């Protein structure tokens, strides 16, 4: 069955040579109970370890079932220990953090036996050793004899052909020793049992064969055996511990030292906490900066007017260094006049602007000079009204209708949103005090200032009779409706050929072409910094003007005015400027008076300007469009500074991350030292080097992952007091915001770093010599 051929094993320590095995040759039968007797230090354990594959021989050969082990690889030895050999030790060597069942199952766990079968076999083994009633206890709850029975159950659970026992009764009293010997004797009926002992009485009483050992040599053999040539050979099932088993093993081990684990996790999470808080803060500050910038942009949009000033042209005119020698005087326009540039703003340009990327400019307001024919029923009677805030009392009574027509409609135009997603301009910058934000072109809003006051004329011009200081409930104003009448319903042609506003306003209001505008909401600017984006009073959508324009473009009065050189309403002669003004007011001119572009941030504003500059490339001077950049001088420094500060702080926090990595390495190393015995036992049960590495890697994985999660959790908790303090000091709320992506990345970093830190000690653990590990105290 098993044969040692001239086995030698020498130890050189210091200057002395120990011959632990000095040319040992012996053969064992398939079934017998062999006791190896001898004084301490004679080499008995060494022989047992060599037979069990825990220790390597220097020379000679160990032949198992006729198969030489000279060419055995690590994996073969691992499989051999797992499949064919069971070990019993003097000090039981149970793994204390595992249950009795788990201890007995461990060998089968390593070889991947399915759970149900594993449990059945373990139960049978425990019944066999007489522990039926103690199966579900913890090892620490058992007596010495019971613990040794568990160890025996573990050794026979895989039904090995060879059972090796090293002083199995050395730690037991004589009564219990007898019982254990009886049990081993039982087991030897089915297999080869080799037992090391220095107790001759027990050896002679129970063993079939006694071999006496001294100085690394066999001195006497009571029943020698000669191995026959013919052997049936044997096959090895290689072992493999799954990552899941490694994780479970480590998790149970960690559970036995909760206090230490918590401290470790806490200490290693400090780096993560630091970085997470810094990122959360910089994240929040950046958002705040973006918000401030966007607010600033709201009050300083890029503006394109009908008449622009070409600042470049203005500069070139002033660079005169030499005096003229001419004897004449030249008539010339002033530099400022020369710089005046008329922007043509054709439809193609408006289309071009509309194609601007929405991330650069979220909203654009196009203002037209067109008037609106507004009427409203006040006290049962229709009257003309306007959105204007100019004083209605100062204009002469009979000219008021004309005034309304010739000064445009008044009120403010708010820009329309350019994508279906995201907030509108009003939603971004204006707080809704009552009602709802406008959703249609016919929805209008009342803009009040920070003190909730509104220009009195805005209400007077709407037909309200108001006294100064009078207060209105929100509901008195919300829902107010105004009729918007088309030119063809509003103006009637007199027999003289001139046009005048109709006398029958109620008929005009009832026309099917008349639109009803509603005040849907009362809004107030949100931020202290961006007051006055829209003037106090009525604000309407730039889409509404476009609708009015499209409708009135082809109206009778516009057509008539186009034909006529005189004012179509008064019959008076007029100059070119007045003519254009009247045409514009009537809706006959579809060129906007101004375009306002609202960039999202300072950075995006540069993109907007670049986009506008692109239009002018290669165009003639007259076709160029000149814009005014109101925010031009405000530079974008804050963003870069924020980044720099973040890098520095993250670097500091990173140092503590490295520190915790080193700490994890130290702790893993300590754990390796503590668990030396366990490593030996696992190896005796057939664990591969890789499996041992896996067990410790799994432990650091749990610690690293736990530290990461814990760190993120604490950092998240910290954002609350930090935000409270910041709100107190700076008035900014919700600055520290932890980005979920950052959180995930930090947990990953923590896990990977601790895995790296623990991997070196884990590899050291794997390399530990099994025989030495088992000798450790
Ligand atoms: P026994 O089991 O009979 O008491 P051992 O097999 O444990 O004897 O030891 C045999 C000899 O080998 C002893 O002298 C011991 O000191 C020596 N020995 C065992 N292991 C080592 C080792 N790893 N390094 C050096 N000497 C060792």
Q: State the chain's maximal CA–CA distance in angstroms.
A: 148
Helix (H, G, I), strand (E, B) or coil at 40: coil
**pLDDT above 70 (res 532):** no
Closest by CA position to 777, among listed 632, 673, 661: 673
What's the pLDDT score for residue 35?
Answer: 95
pLDDT digits (tens, 9 = 90+) for 573-612: 888 888 888 888 888 888 888 888 888 777 788 888 899 9
Smallest CA separation from ligand 1 atom 1, residue: 41
Dihedral of alpha carbons 339, 342, 345, 348, sign:
negative
Q: Ligand 1 centroid to 78 CA: how many Å?
A: 22
Q: Ligand 1 centroid to 21 CA: how many Å?
A: 9
pLDDT digits (tens, 9 = 90+) for 706-720: 999 999 999 999 999
Q: Ligand 1 centroid to 18 CA: how many Å?
A: 8
pLDDT digits (tens, 9 = 90+) for 218-240: 999 999 998 876 666 677 778 77
**pLDDT above 70 (res 328):** yes
Region 411-429 average pLDDT: 78
Q: Ligand 1 centroid to 45 CA: how many Å?
A: 7
Helix (H, G, I), strand (E, B) or coil at 324: coil
Closest by CA position to 90, among listed 14, 184, 35, 166: 166
Phi, psi of 449 (to 5 degrees): -90, -175
How many whole angstroms separate alpha carbon 398 and alpha carbon 713? 73
Q: Ligand 1 centroid to 154 CA: how many Å?
A: 26
Q: Which atom of ligand 1 is nearest to the CA of 47?
A: 6
Specify the pairing of strand 443-448 against strand 515-525.
parallel
How many whole angstroms separate alpha carbon 709 and alpha carbon 29? 58
Q: Which atom of ligand 1 is nearest to the CA of 216?
A: 10
**pLDDT above 80 (res 356):** yes
Contacts of 335 (CB under 8 A, 6+ apart): 314, 317, 318
Q: What is the residue whose two structure tokens read 């958002």?
A: 287
How many whole angstroms separate alpha carbon 744 and alpha carbon 739? 9
What's the pLDDT score for residue 313?
Answer: 60
Q: Ligand 1 centroid to 769 CA: how many Å?
A: 14
Q: What is the average pLDDT score of the chain? A: 85
What's the pLDDT score for residue 187?
Answer: 93
Q: Which atom of ligand 1 is nearest to the CA of 39?
A: 3
For residue 278, what pLDDT band results from cuts at 50, 70 and 90?
Answer: confident
- Listed range (164-168, 384-388, 417-421, 550-554) with the worst mean pLDDT: 417-421
What's the pLDDT score for residue 729?
Answer: 86
pLDDT digits (tens, 9 = 90+) for 469-478: 889 999 989 9
For residue 403, what pLDDT band results from cuts at 50, 70 and 90?
Answer: very low
Smallest CA separation from ligand 1 atom 27, residue: 11
For residue 400, what pLDDT band results from cuts at 50, 70 and 90?
Answer: very low
Q: Ligand 1 centroid to 765 CA: how many Å?
A: 22
Reported as type and span, the H/E element at residue 213 is: strand 209-214
Q: Which atom of ligand 1 is nearest to the CA of 213?
A: 3
For residue 393, what pLDDT band results from cuts at 50, 70 and 90?
Answer: low
How many whole angstroms separate alpha carbon 135 and alpha carbon 528? 74
What's the pLDDT score for residue 229?
Answer: 67
Higher pLDDT, 562 or 335: 562
**pLDDT above 60 (res 457):** yes
What's the pLDDT score for residue 482?
Answer: 93
Region 727-753 average pLDDT: 88
Q: Which atom of ligand 1 is nearest to the CA of 769?
A: 23
Higher pLDDT, 335 or 386: 386
Q: What is the residue whose two structure tokens read 């009886």?
A: 182
**pLDDT above 60 (res 547):** yes
Smallest CA separation from ligand 1 atom 5, residue: 43
Smallest CA separation from ligand 1 atom 12, residue: 20
Q: Ligand 1 centroid to 225 CA: how many Å?
A: 26
For residue 244, what pLDDT band results from cuts at 50, 70 and 90?
Answer: confident
**pLDDT above 60 (res 337):** yes
Distances in Å between the alpha carbon of 501 and those of 506, 569, 692? Answer: 12, 9, 97
Two tokens, residue 319: 């660079």
How many whole angstroms separate alpha carbon 693 and alpha carbon 671? 13
Phi, psi of 461 (to 5 degrees): -65, -20
The answer to whether 372 and 600 are in contact (CB under 8 A) is no
Given ligand 1 and candidates 24, 35, 41, 769, which is best to mutate, with the most ligand atoms within 8 Å of its CB? 41
What's the pLDDT score for residue 633?
Answer: 57
The answer to whether 69 and 11 are in contact (CB under 8 A) is no
Given ligand 1 and candidates 43, 89, 216, which is best to mutate, with the most ligand atoms within 8 Å of its CB? 43
Smallest CA separation from ligand 1 atom 16, residue: 41
pLDDT digits (tens, 9 = 90+) for 115-137: 899 999 999 999 999 998 888 88
Specify the pairing of strand 491-493 against strand 16-28.
unpaired
What's the pLDDT score for residue 396?
Answer: 42
- Listed range (19-23, 140-144, 234-238, 565-569) with the worst mean pLDDT: 234-238
Q: Ligand 1 centroid to 91 CA: how many Å?
A: 17
Domains of the chain with CATH codes: 2-239 (3.40.50.300), 254-289+641-774 (no CATH), 371-541 (no CATH)
Q: What is the residue whose two structure tokens read 């009073």?
A: 537
Contacts of 40 (CB under 8 A, 6+ apart): 198
Identify the bridge partners of residue 326 per DSSP, sorted by sequence position. Answer: none
Q: Ligand 1 centroid to 198 CA: how many Å?
A: 15
Q: Ligand 1 centroid to 17 CA: how many Å?
A: 11
pTM: 0.63
Q: Ligand 1 centroid to 43 CA: how many Å?
A: 6
Smallest CA separation from ligand 1 atom 23, residue: 772
Helix (H, G, I), strand (E, B) or coil at 8: strand
Smallest CA separation from ligand 1 atom 21, residue: 11
CB-based burial, 396-421: b 16+ in 10 Å, e otherwise: eeeebeebbbbbbbbbbbbbbbbeee
Given ligand 1 and candidates 15, 20, 215, 676, which is best to mutate, with the most ligand atoms within 8 Å of its CB? 20
Smallest CA separation from ligand 1 atom 7, residue: 45
Q: What is the residue whose two structure tokens read 């991350």?
A: 657
Residues touching ligand 1 (Cβ under 6 Å) are: 11, 13, 18, 20, 38, 40-46, 772
The answer to whether 437 and 521 are in contact (CB under 8 A) is yes
Angle between the N-to-C axes of helices 144-156 and 100-110, in degrees from 0 to 180, rounded to the nearest 10: 20
- Name the E strands within 409-526: 412-414, 416-417, 430-435, 443-448, 481-485, 491-493, 499-501, 515-525
For 356-398, the DSSP string reads S-TTTEEEEEEE-----EEEEEETTEEEEE-S--S-GGGS-GG
The answer to whether 81 and 52 are in contact (CB under 8 A) is yes
Most confident of 213-217, 464-468, 634-638: 213-217
How many whole angstroms separate alpha carbon 653 and alpha carbon 261? 22
Q: Ligand 1 centroid to 775 CA: how many Å?
A: 9
What's the pLDDT score for residue 401?
Answer: 41
């Amino acid at each position: 069955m098993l044969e040692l051929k001239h086995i030698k094993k020498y130890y050189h320590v210091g200057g002395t040579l120990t011959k632990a095995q000095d040319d040992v040759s012996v053969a064992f039968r398939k079934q017998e109970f062999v006791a190896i007797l001898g004084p301490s230090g004679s080499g008995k354990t060494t022989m047992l370890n060599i037979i069990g594959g825990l220790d390597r021989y220097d020379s000679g050969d160990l032949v198992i079932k006729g198969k030489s082990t000279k060419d055995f690889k690590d994996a073969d030895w691992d499989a051999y220990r797992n499949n064919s050999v069971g070990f019993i030790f003097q000090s039981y060597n149970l793994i204390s953090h595992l249950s009795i069942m788990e201890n007995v199952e461990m060998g089968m766990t390593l070889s991947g036996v399915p759970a149900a079968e594993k449990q059945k076999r373990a139960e049978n083994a425990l019944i066999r050793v007489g522990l039926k009633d103690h199966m579900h206890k913890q090892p620490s709850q058992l007596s010495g004899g019971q613990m040794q029975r568990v160890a025996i159950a573990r050794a026979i659970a895989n039904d090995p052909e060879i059972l090796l026992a090293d002083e199995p009764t050395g730690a037991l009293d004589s009564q219990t020793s007898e019982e254990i010997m009886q049990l081993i004797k039982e087991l030897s009926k089915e297999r080869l049992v080799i037992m090391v002992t220095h107790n001759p009485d027990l050896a002679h009483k129970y063993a079939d064969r006694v071999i006496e050992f001294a100085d690394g040599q066999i001195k006497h053999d009571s029943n020698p055996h000669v191995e026959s040539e013919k052997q049936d050979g044997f096959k090895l099932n290689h072992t493999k511990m799954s990552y899941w088993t490694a994780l479970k093993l480590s998790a149970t081990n960690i559970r036995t030292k909760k206090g230490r684990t918590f401290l470790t996790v806490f200490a290693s999470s400090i780096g993560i906490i630091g970085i997470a808080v810094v990122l959360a803060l910089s994240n929040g500050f950046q958002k705040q900066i973006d918000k401030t910038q966007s607010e600033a942009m709201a009050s300083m949009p890029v503006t394109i007017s009908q008449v622009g000033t070409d600042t470049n042209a203005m500069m070139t005119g002033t660079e005169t260094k030499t005096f003229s020698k001419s004897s004449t005087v030249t008539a010339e326009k002033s530099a400022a006049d020369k710089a005046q540039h008329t922007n043509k703003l054709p439809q193609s340009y408006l289309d071009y602007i509309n194609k601007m990327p929405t991330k650069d400019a979220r909203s654009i307001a196009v203002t037209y000079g067109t008037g609106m024919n507004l009427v409203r029923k006040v006290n049962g009677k229709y009257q003309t009204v306007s959105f204007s805030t100019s004083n209605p009392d100062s204009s002469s009574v009979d000219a008021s209708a004309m005034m309304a027509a010739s000064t445009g409609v008044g009120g403010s135009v708010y820009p329309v949103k350019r994508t279906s997603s995201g907030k509108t301009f009003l939603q971004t910058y204006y707080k809704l005090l009552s009602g709802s934000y406008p959703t249609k072109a016919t929805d209008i809003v009342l803009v009040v200032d920070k003190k909730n006051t509104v220009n009195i004329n805005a209400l007077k011009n709407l037909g309200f009779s108001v006294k100064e200081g009078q207060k209105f409930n929100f509901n008195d104003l919300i829902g107010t409706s105004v009729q918007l009448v088309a030119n063809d319903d509003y103006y009637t042609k007199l027999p003289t050929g001139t046009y005048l506003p109709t006398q029958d306003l109620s008929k005009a209001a009832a026309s099917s072409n008349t639109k009803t505008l509603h005040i849907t909401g009362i809004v107030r600017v949100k931020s202290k910094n961006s007051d006055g984006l829209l003037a106090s009073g009525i604000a309407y959508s730039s889409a509404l003007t476009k609708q009015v324009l499209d409708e009135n473009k082809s109206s009778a009065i516009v057509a008539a005015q186009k034909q006529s050189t005189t004012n179509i309403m008064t019959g008076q002669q007029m100059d070119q400027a007045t003519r254009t003004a009247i045409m514009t007011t009537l809706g006959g001119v579809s060129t906007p008076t101004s375009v306002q572009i609202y960039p999202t941030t300072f950075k995006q504003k540069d993109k907007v300007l670049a986009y506008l500059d692109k239009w002018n490339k290669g165009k003639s001077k007259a076709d160029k469009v000149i814009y005014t950049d109101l925010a031009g001088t405000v530079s974008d420094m804050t963003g870069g500074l924020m980044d720099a500060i973040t890098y520095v702080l993250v670097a500091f926090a990173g140092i503590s991350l490295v520190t915790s990595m080193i700490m994890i390495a130290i702790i893993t190393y300590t754990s390796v030292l503590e668990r030396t015995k366990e490593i030996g036992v696992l190896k005796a049960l057939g664990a591969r080097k890789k499996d041992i590495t896996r067990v410790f890697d799994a432990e650091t994985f749990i610690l690293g992952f736990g530290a990461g999660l814990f760190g993120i959790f604490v950092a998240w908790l910290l954002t609350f007091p930090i935000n409270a303090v910041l709100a107190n000091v700076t008035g900014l709320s919700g600055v520290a915001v932890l980005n979920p992506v950052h959180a995930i990345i930090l947990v990953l970093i923590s896990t990977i770093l601790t895995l790296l830190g623990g991997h070196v000690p884990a590899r050291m653990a794997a390399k530990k010599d099994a025989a030495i590990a088992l000798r450790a105290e």
